[in-house]
């Protein structure tokens, strides 16, 4: 069984590495920084924009996936890049391109949820990663505990409503700042702050309730 | 701040979540932004995507099966009065599984009078064709009440679910996806899997083991529920949400 039997031919590129595909260089050497790339792309330079697409596809794809786009993440990200290009004049300075793009990705993902009336749940990987060291006889038990804890955490996240889940995903799983999260979710920074606080409280309550049930049954 | 640990766990969780490898979109995006006059057609693979995700979910929850870690990671997750056992299904199922102990048919009203937990009827399914009560205590109060629909192909088991296990499911092959019913957590087992009854003494009744169809499990303050025989999680959660 394959996790992603679709269109493997499309996945042969090296997104996230702008130098791998003949990236854009400025005169005098060195890769374009975002501000320069945005400025060039705003004047219609498609090479400059392609540089940004290559650099931020991985981040955008991961954001779409974690926000629930599932296997539609490819479509969401492609649409987000096209829309971003069309309104690139609204992106004021280059160093805000990443959060600005992620805001468009988040918005596209929400549109997707509306159109198909569901969002894909977060899915845990099959097992501990190969890179995790197993050093002693106690490690398997510790790994199992950690895996169970992650399962509980994932399940508890799944019970939050979209607003509270999204704010936690943006802040902590995607590691956006409060301001970037505000941009991504289309709300104020104060709202992000209070919503994050509430969401953590709810998550904590759900986790504790789960643990109490376990204790009751033990 | 007391939530620091939780924040750290959330930051760490990201690394353990399944996200597909990112495609290279440079050519596709370039084609679209350089040919604006062409109609924009997004590929819509939602049905295929749903199927792929289901498969991904099945694989995702299965613990590793070869190593020592695998043995330890064969976790039993207790949820809504049901033990979800992720160990391998090595047992053989009885050819003719026994029904739940002491099961008998009755009316919905009678079941409501007898049971000590709230009997819920999903508006989306309506009045059940058959109502069964099972495993009564000394006073005749049933431990499980089952509503059956469409000649028994749809089955809603209801029980208290708060303090002790009622059913054991082996979900190694089927997997489980966490979702929600209203504001409550729910678990969806999307494929056939063995289920057996756990009696009052906590003993798994192996003679009741049978292959159950896809099942949604959820809990409310009033009781716990196991809805079997609905093909999609969307429909199952819609039915569950209509339960009053």
- pTM of the predicted protein model: 0.47
**B60 contacts A217? CB cut-off 8 A:** no
Distance of alpha carbon A190 from the chain centroid: 22
Q: Which residue of B has its CA nearest to A59?
A: B22
CB A51 within 8 A of CB A18: yes
Of A21, A71, A173, which is closest to B26 when you measure between CB atoms?
A: A21
Q: Which residues lie closer than 8 Å to A167 by C-beta, 6 or more apart?
A: A181, A185, A192, A195, A196, A199
| DSSP 8-state assignment for residue B131 | E
Query: Domains in chain A, please, with CATH?
Result: 14-116 (1.10.1740.10), 139-217 (1.10.10.10)
pLDDT tens profile A6-48: 333 333 333 433 333 334 444 444 567 888 899 889 888 999 9
Q: Which residues on A lie below 8 Å from B16 (Cβ)?
A: 124-125, 129, 150
Give the pLDDT score at A7. Answer: 34
Residue A117 neighbours by CB distance under 10 Å: 7
Residue among A174, A177, A165, A181 nearest A61 (CA): A174
CB B217 within 8 A of CB B186: yes
Report, as an integer, the average pLDDT of B113-137.
92
Give the pLDDT score at B71. Answer: 38
Q: Answer whether B78 touches A (CB < 8 Å).
A: yes
Q: Answer whether B6 touches A (CB < 8 Å).
A: yes
| β-bridge mates for residue B184, sequence order | B181
CB B113 within 8 A of CB B198: no
What is the C-alpha to C-alpha distance for residues A98 and A79, in angstroms, rounded to an integer?
A: 16
- Which positions 8-67 of B are in contact with A (Cβ < 8 Å)? 9-11, 13-26, 28-30, 32-34, 40, 42-46, 48-50, 52-53, 55-57, 59-64, 67
Backbone angles phi, psi at B138, to 5 degrees: -60, -30
**B29 contacts A81? CB cut-off 8 A:** yes
pLDDT at B227 over 80: yes
Give the pLDDT score at B171. Answer: 82
Give the pLDDT score at A1. Answer: 35
Residue among A100, A122, A116 nearest A186 (CA): A100
Please indicate whether residue A175 or residue B10 has the higher confidence score (pLDDT).
B10
Give the pLDDT score at A120. Answer: 78
Give the pLDDT score at B236. Answer: 94
pLDDT tens profile B162-179: 778 899 888 877 778 888
Give the pLDDT score at B65. Answer: 40
Give the pLDDT score at B243. Answer: 84
pLDDT at B28 over 60: yes
Please indicate whether residue B30 or residue B18 has the higher confidence score (pLDDT).
B30
* Crossing angle for the helix pair A189-217 and A178-185, to the nearest 10 degrees: 90
B166 to chain A, closest Cα gap in Å: 11
**A74 contacts B77? CB cut-off 8 A:** no
Q: How many Cβ pairs closer than 8 A exist between chain A and B?
A: 229
In this structure, which long-range contacts are made by residues B190-194, counting pairs with CB atoms below 8 Å and at least 24 apart in sequence? B190/B54, B190/B57, B190/B58, B190/B214, B190/B233, B191/B58, B193/B89, B193/B169, B194/B89, B194/B91, B194/B93, B194/B169, B194/B170
Q: Which residues lie closer than 8 Å to A115 by C-beta, 6 or more apart?
A: none
Q: Which residues lie closer than 8 Å to A152 by C-beta, 6 or more apart?
A: A207, A210
Q: Answer whether B203 touches A (CB < 8 Å).
A: no
B43 to chain A, closest Cα gap in Å: 7
Please indicate whether residue B52 or residue A165 has the higher confidence score (pLDDT).
A165
Residue among A4, A28, A103 nearest A60 (CA): A103
**A149 contacts B73? CB cut-off 8 A:** no
């Amino acid at each position: 069984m394959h996790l992603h039997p679709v269109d493997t031919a499309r996945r042969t590129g090296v997104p996230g590495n702008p130098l791998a595909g003949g990236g854009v260089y400025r005169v005098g050497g060195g890769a374009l920084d975002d501000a320069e790339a945005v400025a060039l792309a705003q004047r219609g330079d498609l090479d400059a924009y392609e540089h940004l697409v290559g650099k931020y596809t991985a981040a955008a794809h991961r954001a779409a996936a974690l926000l629930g786009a599932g296997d539609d993440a490819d479509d969401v990200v492609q649409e987000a890049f096209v829309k971003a290009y069309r309104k690139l004049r609204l992106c004021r300075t280059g160093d805000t391109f990443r959060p600005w793009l992620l805001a468009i990705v988040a918005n596209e993902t929400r549109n997707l949820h509306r159109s198909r009336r569901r969002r894909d749940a977060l899915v845990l990987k099959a097992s501990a990663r190969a890179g995790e060291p197993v050093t002693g006889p106690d490690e398997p038990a510790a790994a199992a505990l950690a895996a169970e804890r992650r399962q509980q955490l994932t399940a508890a996240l799944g019970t939050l409503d979209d607003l509270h889940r999204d704010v936690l995903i943006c802040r902590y799983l995607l590691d956006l700042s409060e301001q970037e999260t505000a941009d991504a979710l289309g709300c104020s920074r104060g709202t992000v702050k209070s919503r994050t606080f509430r969401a953590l409280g709810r998550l904590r309550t759900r986790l504790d309730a789960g643990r109490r049930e376990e204790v009751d049954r033990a | 701040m007391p939530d620091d640990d939780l924040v750290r766990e959330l930051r760490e969780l990201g690394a353990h979540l399944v996200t597909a490898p990112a495609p290279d979109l440079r050519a596709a995006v370039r084609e679209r932004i350089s040919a604006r006059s062409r109609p924009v057609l997004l590929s819509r693979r939602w049905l295929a995507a749903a199927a792929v995700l289901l498969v991904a979910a099945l694989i995702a929850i299965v613990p590793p099966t070869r190593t020592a870690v695998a043995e330890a990671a064969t976790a039993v997750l207790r949820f809504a009065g049901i033990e979800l056992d992720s160990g391998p299904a090595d047992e053989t199922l009885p050819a003719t599984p026994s029904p739940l102990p002491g099961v008998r048919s009755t009316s919905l009203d009678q079941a409501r009078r007898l049971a000590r937990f709230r009997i819920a009827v999903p508006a989306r399914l309506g009045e059940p064709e058959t109502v069964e009560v099972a495993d009564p205590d000394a006073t005749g109060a049933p431990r499980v009440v089952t509503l059956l629909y469409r000649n028994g192909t749809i089955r809603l088991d209801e029980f208290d679910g708060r303090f002790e296990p009622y059913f054991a499911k082996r979900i190694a092959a089927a997997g489980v996806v966490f979702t929600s019913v209203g504001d409550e957590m729910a678990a969806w087992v999307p494929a056939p899997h063995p289920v057996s009854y756990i009696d009052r003494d906590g003993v798994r009744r192996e003679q009741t083991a049978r292959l159950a169809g896809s099942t949604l499990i959820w809990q409310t303050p009033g009781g716990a529920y196991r809805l079997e025989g609905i093909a999609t999680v969307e429909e199952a959660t819609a039915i569950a949400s209509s339960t009053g």
